[in-house]
Amino acid sequence: MKILVTGTAGFIGFHLANRLIERGDEVIGLDSINDYYDVHVKYGRLEFAGINKDDVHYNKIISSTKFKNYKFIQLKLEDKENLDNLFKTEKFDKVCNLAAQAGVRYSLTNPYAYINSNITGFINILEACRYFEIKHLAYASSSSVYGINEKQPFSTSDNVDHPISLYAASKKANELMAHTYSYLFGVPTTGLRFFTVYGPWGRPDMALFLFTKAILEGKPIDVFNQGDMKRDFTYVADIVEGIIRVIDNPPLPNPNWSALNSDPSTSKAPYKIYNIGNSNPVKLMDFIEAIENELGIKAEKNLLPMQPGDVPATWADVSDLVSNLDYKPDTSIKQGIKNFISWYREFYKK
């Protein structure tokens, strides 16, 4: 297949593009390469995939020097004219949209970044998928959409109308927008609610990266809610395997769906929502201990109150993923952290 993967200078998009390339798909990667976090990491991901930093220019397609079936373009999703031209020229079979303004706390101070990228950018993707007859759009949602829900594990059949950050609200909006296009125009769409993704080439604003960096530098780590938190940490390779299975299996209309007793994760339109998580919540202090054990260094902890927009616990119900796609993430925290730290030491020569 010929697949557009947006966000390929980003964490998950980088790993997904490489897996698709390895299995023989033709991939066009797209990313705006914004400065939300250290662009050195973003360019490092691109270089790994054979995209030379010096060759990157806005709206210019570059061929990989490493993979004959990979090309990259720097482009903003908000740039509708050039995005439409890309769809028209390249004639994609499927699209996986992982490009977005990420981060819960950043949304408290930079709200318009989320409207521009996650709302305006996403409607441009939907319009392109509609007019250029894309066979399947898979896109990143987030476990953040569960907001102040307290019933656990979080199920895709739960109501998610109470987000507590603009980031979460923008992801919920994406799901609603996608359903509209599935219903009105028959565009098959699948939303993927990712649960706390970690692993090699991870984001510098995420806990594992921040903790590892601080511990190695002999600095204290910030531990929110006095450490009384749980997260359904999910290894990036497990996330990617789930995405690929979803891409290969476009949703069909659910003939049993009823508006009288509706399941929000499915529809009479070709629309579906999945959780992708390890389904095994880990206490934050246990996560930190696993990092300490792998580094052989004890962390100095700066215990802080809960931050606005954060939730005390996440836990994914992945029963749909298991029943529909025969898949359940299973990489252990110990192995995942070991792999990340090995990458970190190599990348930063620590």
Catalytically active residues are 167
Whether the upstream peptide bond of residue 111 has omega within 30° of 0, thus cis, is no
The structure tokens listed for 207 are 């806990």
Q: Which residue has the tokens 């029963």?
A: 319
Q: Which residues contact 311 (CB under 8 A, 6 or more apart)?
A: 144, 146, 147, 148, 164
Closest CA to 104 of 144, 76, 65: 144
Residue type, position 216, single letter: L
**Residue 265 to residue 260: CA distance in whole angstroms:** 15
DSSP state for residue 37 in the 8-state scheme = S
Per DSSP bridges, beta strands 94-97 and 2-6 are parallel
Could you tell me if 29 and 54 are in contact, meaning their C-beta atoms sit under 8 angstroms apart?
no
Cα Rg, the chain, nearest whole Å = 20
The beta strands (E) that lie in 149-264 are given as 189-194, 197-198, 221-223, 230-231, 234-235
Q: Which residue has the tokens 């998610």?
A: 160
Closest CA to 175 of 122, 133, 228, 231: 122
Residue type, position 235, single letter: Y
**Strand pairing partners for 26?**
2
**Residue 239 to residue 237: CA distance in whole angstroms:** 5
The structure tokens listed for 153 are 């594990």
Q: Which residues contact 278 (CB under 8 A, 6 or more apart)?
A: 195, 232, 233, 234, 235, 238, 316, 329, 330, 331
Closest CA to 274 of 182, 175, 186, 180: 175
